[in-house]
Structure 1
């Protein structure tokens, strides 16, 4: 059930988002919570996963705040079903990705975000890998968070 955030809680949330993602969220927007999801102007914008604040794909579509890993079109179907991202499907890796960093997974044709994931290795190690899991899929188009 949605409930409006108190002014103090909204300020704390805005500050937390700024610290973690270097983004300025408008103070005048309407902030609500629904379980572990934060809605801004009735749109799911952030959620908590394992006590960590993460942006939703819908928010990422409008705000480019994460480093990216690009996957080939053969991987899209699997990513869209919640599969982790395997090294062979990765075609491009942004520089500076660190282990455990939250990243956006995008398709190579349109560059649209497909998933939010957590890097299991730093960018340099992922590039050097020949196979194996590289990114843990946390939130993807079509999951419960997407469908809110």
Structure 2
């Protein structure tokens, strides 16, 4: 999604009202229930969020000149820097070492990379179209964020095809964006 993202793709910037900020916070909590305990650290009450509209109907939400999360269609997706600060607040999966170079080049994640020896999927099922953070075997921080193309139970049982559509990863255009 952000493989070749540049400043030229930004169309407009505008401050959003405090009522809209409250709505964004509640949508973010609805999507990621574990983020409720840290949402005031991510978006403090008296802060001003700036909406940045980009091409392909992507909206970035920025605060203090750093993107906090972005929106693609109906999903609110945290920026990797937010995930690095609050890793326990987001659902996570782990890929094996062999998948790292492909993920960091922007490739979608195949099911075998999520079910092999070094990979980990959560015990409880995560439904299709959920946003997950992607960690790598032997690494401390998340290297990407993606959207499940099938549930985690289906990934375990089918073990073929694309399991996660990559949305944002270390080193992509959004990661390197400076306002």
TM-score calculated relative to the size of structure 1? 0.89
Report the alpha carbon displacement of residue 83 of structure 1 after superposing the two structures with TM.
Answer: 0.5
CA distance in 2, matches of 1:109, 1:102: 22
**Match in the other structure for 2:47:** 29
1:15 Cα deviation after fit: 2.0
2:22 corresponding residue in structure 1: 11
**Which consecutive unaligned segments of at least 5 residues does structure 1 have?**
none
> Within 1, Cα distance between the matches of 2:153 and 2:23?
35
Aligned to 2:91: 67
**TM-score, structure 2 normalization:** 0.75
Unaligned runs of 5+ in 2: 1-11, 54-58
Deviation readout 1:38-85 (Å, 9 max, x if unpaired): 013322111011232111111111122221110112111111111010
Moved over 4 A (4+): none
Residue number in structure 2 paired with 1:77? 101
Q: What is the number of residues matched between the two proteins?
A: 148
Alignment correspondent of 1:122: 151
User: Where is the helix percentage greater, Structure 1 or Structure 2?
Assistant: 2
- Structure with more strand by fraction: 1
The alignment's C-alpha RMSD in Å is: 1.7
1:115-137 Cα deviation digits (max 9, x unpaired)? 11111111111112333211111
